[in-house]
Amino acid sequence: MELHFPSNFLWGSTTAAYQVEGNNYNSDFWAEEHADGSPYKDKSGDTIDHYRLYREDIALMASLGLNTYRFSIEWSRIEPEPGQYSRSAIEHYRDVLETCYQHGITPVVAMHHFSSPKWLMRMGGWASPEVPERFAKYCEVVFREIGHLIPYALTMNEINLPVMLREIFSKIGFIPPVGIERDAWVAPKWRESAAKLCGTTIENYFTFHMISDESSINILKETHQKARQAIKRIQPNTKVGLSMALSDIQSIPGGEELAAQKWHSYFRQYLPMLEGDDFFGLQNYTREVYGPEGQVRPAEGAELTQMGYEFYPKALGNVIRKVSKDLSIPIMITEHGIATDDDSRRVEFIGKALEGLQACLDEGIDVRGYLHWTTFDNFEWQSGYSMKFGLIEVDRSTQERKVKESARYLGSISQLNILVKK
């Protein structure tokens, strides 16, 4: 059976600057990696050298049949010191965008994907009330130069992630959260070292991931809105939104209230932030099930991914349906993926999830695109290079790219605009 998608549907994949570009040593994450006692498993180093190899990489995406590429711009490259902007970095991203167009690829650009300039930590990091103004100014500088080449922009990626991290780590009495390694949390000595590498002290050191208390969330809200205004003032035609990581929150009897609380905390509390947005970036990986005692582990024998998430491709359609109840703007799937060494499971994961997505389209929900996380196996933050989320494998000793079956699968769906249901 053939499932059809709307014409102009965006098919593509996503990367994040810090995870693929390499040598972003002006970023707070670089400091975290190199801090004494860092919980990061690997050094990002050159990652997959995408800052140098983007032309070949974009050509490869196009050759697969994909028509969209979402990437992020590294703030610390555009503004290496406060108020000092790099035209060289802007010219780089101009060429990335122009290369997309040369290959018939629509770019979707995130202005922030977790990493921030080291210098921001010297001013109090994301907890500083200066952030909205500074971030909006950075967006303004970029959009004044290359905004006409950016049809879709995300101000920030996964604006709700800090709150999700807090929920996870509040259990061990450590708020605000700063990472995902339990041992590292309870011994934050490494953060002192990271702060020093940023030229500051721990009192000022607040990365994006730590912004999970109420007043700081207001900073994020103001940041998003000021950035959107700055962008729209210069490029009214650019569609602007943000993205959220959203698991499919489910409940078993007795867990309904807790599930509703989680949904509020992870999604509904952010609704005022979206007022005025042009689209919503939805990012999904799995489901979370709640019972009377809290989150319920996946059933015995459930298939888990490398990240320990339950293999549950139905989650995508479910979440689309849930968010659509509260939204009057189009939805774009800006991330969806699976960490696995067995690429045939990725093929299955994509196919099944797209069935769910197509059902949502049939129900009249306005979904504009599906961007898979991620184009290449890359630097997965604290987990280093161990997580295989990519459609394309990379031999990092030679930087050779090797297309996986899943890339061809997604590419062929994109080219035909049809999913063959098995």
Instruction: Report the interface residues with its own copies, using CB under 8 A.
Output: 22-23, 25-26, 34, 43, 45-46, 49, 51-52, 77, 80-81, 84, 86-89, 91-92, 196-199, 399
Q: How many CB atoms lie within 10 A of CB 129?
A: 13
Least Å from the CB of residue 341 to its own copies: 25
List the catalytic residue out of 33, 79, 158, 310: 158
- Return the number of the residue (51 or 135) whose C-beta is nearest its own copies: 51
Give dist(CA 353, CA 347) in Å, integer: 10
Residue in the block written with tokens 């130069």: 145
Least Å from the CB of residue 378 to its own copies: 14
Give dist(CA 188, CA 52) in Å, integer: 35
Bridge partners of 367, per DSSP, are 331
- Return the number of the residue (84 or 328) whose C-beta is nearest its own copies: 84
Least Å from the CB of residue 36 to its own copies: 11
Token pair in block for residue 196: 């020093």
CA distances from 52 to 48, 49, 114 (A): 9, 6, 21
158 has catalytic annotation: yes
Residue in the block written with tokens 């949904």: 263
- Return the number of the residue (277 or 377) whose C-beta is nearest its own copies: 377
Catalogue the long-range contacts made by 249-252 (C-beta closer than 8 Å, 24 or more residues apart).
249/287, 249/288, 249/290, 249/322, 250/287, 250/288, 250/289, 250/290, 250/318, 251/289, 251/290, 251/291, 252/289, 252/290, 252/291, 252/296
- Return the number of the residue (229 or 399) whose C-beta is nearest its own copies: 399
Least Å from the CB of residue 121 to its own copies: 12
Helix (DSSP H) and strand (DSSP E) numbers for the chain: 15, 16
- Return the number of the residue (8 or 88) whose C-beta is nearest its own copies: 88
Least Å from the CB of residue 76 to its own copies: 9
Task: Give first-to-last CA distance, the chain, whole Å.
Answer: 7
Q: Which residues are catalytic, by number?
A: 158
